[in-house]
Structure 1
């Protein structure tokens, strides 16, 4: 193999593919990026068997070839190269990285054991703006369960229904849902992406601006954009019928400035106990919204929150970390908190935002 390419494009491609390598001691080739030069293209591939990516960049190919190199070492080397163009050559199973001022050699590994990355020819296809895809995934994935006992809960669910694409995640204690308008000829249900794959999908497409083609088969989902092809395993199972958990009517409501709410929870963090419990005391009759945290080791913190209140008086207890997690998904100046009595979930929404919804179950006393 002998090629020349633009350093910046190679660094960008390597940084995306390197995120997928497996860090696998039993199968060292999974720690590698596969480089394949052909037809004036350099194709980079990486996989951890759960997630795979291929990225093609333009290159001047003098001699075609294929080689597997340790991904982390290759990335670290390239990050210290500032030359505009770079030459890659393979000699005696070694990769030579050559610039005007530097020559480095990386010992390669056999590419014969490198797993093939599935090529999806799904019956279900949609196109989605890259910013909408990453927004949808970012806004919910943190609500998925970190336990793999119930794989459907350690996933982000994607549904397409009535010209909306829904991103949903839940660990049974809280639930996040984002809906985004999409043009689709058919409804698609119960596409479960392993939550551990979601951050890597976001990283690959976060700096992209354009429409991504998505194909779905029985066991895989693929994302394709301008030389980037990424595929993820789909989890078998059925996502819970979560819509029945979301109340249609509420007995108590509070509207709070987002900035004020964030400040309160920074204080809550200091005084919280080992259970992360925070107490809500809402009294619309007295125009009072009090949030309290208490720890035997630290002390107590009481906050009187300025809010527009309506409905019945109510007292509930929550895990404050479940509440603060959703702040990253709300981009409005004010938020609405909606309640339906003792023992029932709290709904959090951005005021005037009808795309994102967050549900939190209360704690027992």
Structure 2
């Protein structure tokens, strides 16, 4: 296999494909397949495949598996401009200006990624999905969670659109996408959060006006935008009913500037980090003011006072984990954030003040 390509394009494309590999040690490889002037770069594990297609100047067709991140780093270290790539049975050789380097090819120990039955794609607004993923993924459980199903994000069909749900057992994020008819009525699937995190990164590299094509089958979901393709296995388990933690109404409602509360949280969180495991952030809510405070015995106290609008039958005080509260406020997509409250022992709903598309539920901490 022989081809020529612009240095940065080749290095970045190999790096993007390699994100499919959780472990990027020398033995894990990225595939290069050249046909004419079309180079397909991809990597996969058992549950995810990332593919990048780029145009090069092809001289001889072929395929190989290269080590990563070594190859990508070496290509990036070459001089700017065109890089010449020559592959034989044993090694890949790269040339640029006066530099010449070679790396041994690696054996591909992973079985081929077998695609599921093809499903007709649905066009989705790339910018809207990227925003929704950023708001929801943060609430999913980590990979070592005891309940594997919560390491994924639920995609559920609702009237007039699609709902994304994630929870780690402490908080829950819900985002509705109006007009996105991706699934059949009353159907739902669970997509691994790790795969969606990589999708969010891919979307950040493309114009948000580009067409994103999404297809969801019985066992996998595929996302394609421009020259990028991400395919992921679905989590074939049943998501527990999340609706039971959503209250039918929230009689108390606080509205505050998102910018101002985010700034206040930034300062208060710094104090709280001095005793992360034992420190709560207290909110004291009155009709026109929000008082926020962190107190650490023998360390210090930090307080903030913000203008706010509160509707409720009585003033109320709550305490939260400062980092989890910050993530909920940060997810808000409007100028003003709303905190909707039932009681001090019920999950508080954090939402956009001007619409109901986002719900972030967070349990207060007993004071």
The TM-score with structure 2 as length reference comes to 0.89
2:228 is aligned to: 228
5+ residue gaps, structure 2, are: none
- Larger mean CA deviation between 16-25 and 49-58 belongs to 16-25
2:297 is aligned to: 296
Q: 1:9 to 1:301 in 2, by over 3 A?
A: closer
Separation in structure 1 between the aligned mates of residue 164 and residue 341 of structure 2, nearest angstrom: 23
1:189 is aligned to: 187
* 1:21-45: CA deviation from partner (whole Å, max 9, x where unpaired): 24277xx64x111111123321111
* 1:273-330: CA deviation from partner (whole Å, max 9, x where unpaired): 423412222233xx45322322124133333332111112222222121110123322
* 1:317-364: CA deviation from partner (whole Å, max 9, x where unpaired): 221211101233224322111111221111112222432221111112
Separation in structure 1 between the aligned mates of residue 117 and residue 316 of structure 2, nearest angstrom: 53
SS at match of 1:49: coil
- Larger mean CA deviation between 14-23 and 183-192 belongs to 183-192
- Larger mean CA deviation between 135-144 and 121-130 belongs to 121-130
Contact 2:15 2:69 in 1 (8 A): no
- Larger mean CA deviation between 179-188 and 192-201 belongs to 179-188
Matches for 1:4-153 after TM superposition, within 5 Å: 4-23=4-23, 29=27, 31-111=28-108, 113-123=109-119, 125-146=121-142, 147-153=144-150
Separation in structure 1 between the aligned mates of residue 216 and residue 56 of structure 2, nearest angstrom: 31
SS at match of 1:177: strand
Contact 1:271 1:293 in 2 (8 A): yes
1:201 is aligned to: 199
How far off its partner does 1:123 sit?
A: 4.3
Separation in structure 2 between the aligned mates of residue 275 and residue 239 of structure 1, nearest angstrom: 32
Q: 1:211 to 1:120 in 2, by over 3 A?
A: farther
| 2:286 paired residue among 274, 283, 286 | 283
1:248 is aligned to: 248
Q: 1:339 to 1:231 in 2, by over 3 A?
A: same
Contact 2:95 2:101 in 1 (8 A): yes
Separation in structure 2 between the aligned mates of residue 98 and residue 333 of structure 1, nearest angstrom: 52
Q: 1:353 to 1:97 in 2, by over 3 A?
A: farther
Q: 1:8 to 1:182 in 2, by over 3 A?
A: farther
The TM-score with structure 1 as length reference comes to 0.90
Contact 1:120 1:216 in 2 (8 A): no
Separation in structure 2 between the aligned mates of residue 321 and residue 361 of structure 1, nearest angstrom: 13
| 1:349 paired residue among 339, 348, 351 | 351
1:330 is aligned to: 332
Separation in structure 2 between the aligned mates of residue 42 and residue 276 of structure 1, nearest angstrom: 53
Contact 2:24 2:69 in 1 (8 A): no
How far off its partner does 1:238 sit?
A: 1.9
SS at match of 2:149: coil
* 1:228-278: CA deviation from partner (whole Å, max 9, x where unpaired): 221112112222322332223222211111222123223322443423412
Separation in structure 2 between the aligned mates of residue 40 and residue 271 of structure 1, nearest angstrom: 57
Q: 1:6 to 1:188 in 2, by over 3 A?
A: farther
5+ residue gaps, structure 1, are: none
Contact 1:67 1:110 in 2 (8 A): no
How far off its partner does 1:194 sit?
A: 1.9
* 1:99-152: CA deviation from partner (whole Å, max 9, x where unpaired): 2332211111134x3431232324474221222222221111111112421112
